[in-house]
Amino acid sequence: MKKLLLLTVLSILFVLGACSSQEKADLVVTSFTDELQEPINKFEELHDVNVDLQIIPTENYTTTLRPALESGEGAPDVFTGEIVYLKDWIEQDYWANLSTDPYNVDAWEDDYMDYVWDLGKNSAGEVRAVSWQTTPGGIYYRRSIAEEVLGTDDPDEVGEMFSTMDGLMDVGEKMKEHNYRLFPDEGSIQPYTNGQDPQPWVNENNELVMTEARLSYFDYAKELRDKQYTALAPAWSPAWYESFVGPISYNVGWDELDEDAEDADKTEVFAVSLPTWGLNSVLKEEAEETSGDWAVTNGPTPYFQGGTWIGMYKDSENKDLAWEFIQMLVHDEEFLTEWVTETTGDVLSYLPVTTKISEDFSEEYLGGQNHYKFFLEEAQKIDASTITKYDQQIGELFGTEVGNYVEGNVTKEEALEEFYNQVENAFPEVTVPE
Amino acid sequence: MAKNNRRAYLFIAPFVIVFLIFNIYPIFLTFYYSLTNYSGMGGIANAEFVGISNYVRLVTDTYFYEAFLNTIQIWGFNFVVQMLIALGLALLFSDIRLKLRGVSIFRALFYLPNIITIASVALLFNILLDWNHGALNQMLLSLGLIDSPINWLNSPAYAQSAVALIGAWMWFGNSFIILLAGISGISRDYYEAALIDGANWWKSFTNITLPQLKPILLYVLITSIIGGLQLFDLPMLLTDTRGAPQGSLNTMVLYLYNQAFRYNNFGYGATLAYGLFIITVIFSAITFRTMYRREVR
């Protein structure tokens, strides 16, 4: 009996010993991409420390990290958050309050793009997270096709044509005449459906806000489909990626398709709505072949999509080092200049650097265009006050129902009713119209 | 004797401790969650106690009933197809008159789809079933079987059938192996006697094979029901992760997942888990009763 007990105890000790024998890092950073690896390498060099970057894939990020933040067990020192749940997280006691001593980040406010700064602030006005980037969106288009069909590939002139929804439809018609499609799918116009007078999805009385501009998304999306301005390649599908490289199969089987035309079952996509990061992580990654043939310009309204904020865990034991790291990442002119110009090309929200580099930026992939300046101007137009924690989920539910209407599965009224039901079901605290 | 007992407790202790911590404790905690409006954030202590209101919502929730029906429909279709294929193949390979060779090779081949991860299967079929660019439509079009491409994953009926058939494709090999083993276990004497009495193939199938195979069929049925009620990964990954088209792939577990982890309704998610638990208990009770009755007879 005693021997058995001894054996058990020994084996438990052995297992425990094996677990804790790993070398302990000086700082643990958790994020959902590897984009912080570069800054971390630099930081390790500068401070002679050992930083452990833990990457949790986006789809598991909240479910994996949140329990750790809730309980404090296994929480990292520094962690990032996406716009999708940022508004939820800054209201929780996860990130440390950076507005207090010794950080006093409020003094930095003027150095940042307004909406980026405002989104890191919770309802009590405390800054919980900051960001180095800004992620406004635009419409990327193929220069060669623009030249052929519209007679110009100049971003300003094309932007002028794109500046209203009806303008977009006109370009769509011209594209179709030359067997091109304006967009890969109808979802490409969703960013512009907040209209010229953007309203939050849920107002301060917890009511769902439906506007004329939003309702018009049904009609414009239907028009895009019915008039065959899209290539029927849904966002993030293999066909969607393919459409940035060259012609894709387009076999709708409609009677009016000319059987004799050689390329009747092929079509090429002209443009796509993507934010700043779409350039690096979508186009450059997936469409090397068309490098140099792209340009970016405005759509009917400004918008932004995505974005990563960073802060430190409120109970971190390495706050000093964590703070050093965050400062370097978001507020170090030298580092940020180098990082942006030499590696990422990310559009920064830190104005001292952006004003310096935006004047003579030139992007080879975009045919030498200074997209940096364009995106900075777009970012200035974004108003953080209409952004709510519901935006992502409600936007997706809305997009799905518009899709059902476009496919002809349901009528507009049915789609709208189902949308309201879905919102009520997902967010019982929100009251829906009618 | 007493000493031996104590030692036995020591041996079962690891299991009991793990079971208490990782099974029993969460079961009770989940029940407590289901009585609150916990959002998964800010600690359970700060959540509001709402009594049985989540359960009231559950019994009036049309999305839950829809999810239940979806699950049953997909599982039912999948089971019928899977069993027809598996049983047909098992009969073919066990037929004493045909004496087919290479059973072990086919057994391995049929089982192959089952070892592919569901994520890969979902991605694969997503590409194959793509409306305009998918291989299936391209093939049907060039064969002239259809005039215009069918938007498989946009039609509730097709999408549910797709999930059911993919499931059948993945699992028929598994059922085939079990049924083949069951059929091999039936004594040849019965068949020989039947042959002498002039029974044809159909007569020996319905009067010998099927009755003798009943316990095995029940086993396959029960394991399939338990797995089927938990259907989650394929419907989630095949479309938009929320059960599109038109909620037809919204299964019970997918609905639970989205309520708890997408919309942060942890309390209601816990209630859905209990709803699912009750349904599973009812289904298990029915099948166990059926099995018990057979044994008595």
pLDDT tens for A117-135 read 999 999 999 999 999 999 9
Spell out the residues 6+ positions from residue B116 whose beta carbon is closer than 8 angstroms to its own.
B170
Residue A6 lies in a domain: no
Check A404 against B41: CB less than 8 A apart. Answer: no
Residues of chain A positioned with their CB less than 8 A from the CB of B64? none
Q: What's the pLDDT score for residue A252? A: 55
Q: What's the pLDDT score for residue A254? A: 45
Q: What's the pLDDT score for residue A65? A: 94
Check A251 against B10: CB less than 8 A apart. Answer: no
Distance from CA of B41 to the nearest CA of A (A): 7
Domain ranges of chain B: 59-296
Q: What's the pLDDT score for residue A315? A: 94
Count of structural domains within chain A: 2
Per-chain mean pLDDT for chain A: 89
Check A428 against B264: CB less than 8 A apart. Answer: no
Q: Which is more confident, A243 or A346? A: A243
Residue A2 has pLDDT above 60, yes or no: no
- Whole-number percent of chain A with pLDDT over 90: 76
Residues A347 and A419 in one domain: no
Q: What is the CATH number of domain B59-296?
A: 1.10.3720.10
Pick from A295-304, A409-418, B83-92, B100-109: least confident: B100-109
Distance from CA of A407 to the nearest CA of B (A): 8
Residues of chain A positioned with their CB less than 8 A from the CB of B132? 231-233, 239, 249-252
Q: What's the pLDDT score for residue A260? A: 47
* Range among A193-197, A256-260, B143-147, B180-184 with highest mean pLDDT value: B180-184
A181 lies in which domain range?
137-303+384-426
pTM (2 d.p.):
0.88
Q: What's the pLDDT score for residue A209? A: 95
When pLDDT is averaged across residues A13-24 and rounded to a whole number, the result is: 52
Residue A5 lies in a domain: no
CA distance A127 to A107: 11
Residue A378 lies in a domain: no
For chain B, say whether A118 makes contact (Cβ under 8 Å). no
- Enumerate residue ranges in chain B where pLDDT < 70: 1-3, 291-297
Residue A368 lies in a domain: no
Q: What's the pLDDT score for residue B297? A: 47
Residue A21 has pLDDT above 50, yes or no: no
Residues A123 and A148 in one domain: no
For chain A, say whether B151 makes contact (Cβ under 8 Å). yes
**A288: pLDDT confidence band, cut at 50, 70 and 90?**
very high
The string of pLDDT tens digits covering residues A78-99 is 999 999 999 999 999 999 999 9
In CATH, what number is assigned to the domain containing residue A113? 3.40.190.10
Q: Which of residues 73-102 of A touch B (CB under 8 A)?
A: 88-89, 92-93
Residues A141 and A251 in one domain: yes
Q: What's the pLDDT score for residue B59? A: 95
Residues of chain B positioned with their CB less than 8 A from the CB of A248? 133
Q: What's the pLDDT score for residue B195? A: 87
When pLDDT is averaged across residues A230-242 and rounded to a whole number, the result is: 89
Amino acid occupying residue A152: T
Among the partner residues A63, A232, A237, nearest to B261 by beta-carbon distance = A63
Residues A316 and A289 in one domain: no
Q: What's the pLDDT score for residue A12? A: 56
Residues A227 and A193 in one domain: yes
Q: Please give the distance of CA A268 from its chain centroid, rounded to a whole number.
A: 25
Check B246 against A404: CB less than 8 A apart. Answer: yes
Residue A8 lies in a domain: no
Interface pTM, i.e. ipTM: 0.87
Residue A9 has pLDDT above 70, yes or no: no
Residue A375 lies in a domain: no
Task: For residue B14, give the 3-state DSSP assignment.
Answer: helix
**A258: pLDDT confidence band, cut at 50, 70 and 90?**
very low
For chain B, say whether A62 makes contact (Cβ under 8 Å). yes
Q: Which is more confident, A17 or A164? A: A164
For chain A, say whether B148 makes contact (Cβ under 8 Å). yes
Residues A352 and A390 in one domain: no
Residues of chain B positioned with their CB less than 8 A from the CB of A397? 242
Residue A188 has pLDDT above 50, yes or no: yes
